[in-house]
Structure 1
Amino acid sequence: MSPYSAAARQYQQVNVQSSIVDASPHRLIQMLFEGALERIAQAKGAMLRSDIALKGELIGKAIKIIQGLQGSLNDTDGGELAANLDQIYDYVIRTMIQANRQDKPELLDECGRLLAEIKSAWDQIADASPTL
Structure 2
Amino acid sequence: MSTAVALSGALAHLLALPNKIGLERDAYFTVQGIYRGWDLFGYVLAIQLVSIIAVIVFARHDRQVRLLAIAALVSLVAAQAVFWTFTYPANVATNNWTAVPDDWETLRRNWEYSHATGAVFQLVAMATLVMAALMRRSSALT
Normalization by structure 2: what TM-score? 0.47
Normalization by structure 1: what TM-score? 0.49
**Which structure has the greater CA radius of gyration?**
2
